[in-house]
Amino acid sequence: MADYAGRLPVATPESQPYWDGLKEHKLMLPTCDDCGPHFYPRPFCPMPKCFNWDIKWMEASGKGKVHTFVISHQPIPPYNTEDNAPPYVIAVIELEEGVRMMSNLIIDDPYSTTVDMDVEIVYDDVTDEVTLPKFKPV
């Protein structure tokens, strides 16, 4: 795991709870009492008429749907080895909570992916420090 070749995120103070949650295999979303959760983490509610800075964190169900996707045939790390070769799926997942996030879909045949397919989260511990939220078909 030490020689993970993909690009790694570096948290900011505002996003640290999100990445800490993933490390504990929890998908945490920032949420506003009036407007509900948002993605990606910001220390305020990004609804222009709200802009409330009293943000709480909630644990998401980890269930969602493929909103849209592509099938990359490019050997982009970490999909650049014999064991982990392209094609692979990059998807925008719409979570049950109504927010959307980019991820990868872990699926045997990328071309069996469909828009609106039901998926659930898979916690991919790519290094000792970083866990990425990925998804698989239900």
Query: Measured between alpha carbons, how far is residue 64 from residues 56, 76, 121 in Å?
Result: 21, 26, 8
Exactly one of 12, 61, 81, 112 binds other proteins (CB under 8 A); that residue is: 12
88 near other proteins, judged by CB under 8 A: yes
In 3-state terms, what secondary structure has residue 94? strand
Binding window for other proteins (CB under 8 A); candidates: 29-37, 49-57, 84-92: 84-92
Smallest distance, other proteins to C-beta of residue 52, A: 19
Task: Determine the size of the site formed for other proteins (CB under 8 A).
Answer: 39
Closest by CA position to 30, among listed 21, 22, 39: 39
Closest by CA position to 135, among listed 55, 77, 82, 67: 67
Single-letter residue type at 82:
E
> Which residues of this chain interact with other proteins, rule CB under 8 A?
6-12, 15, 19, 39-40, 67-74, 76-79, 87-88, 90, 92, 100-104, 110-111, 115-116, 126, 130, 132
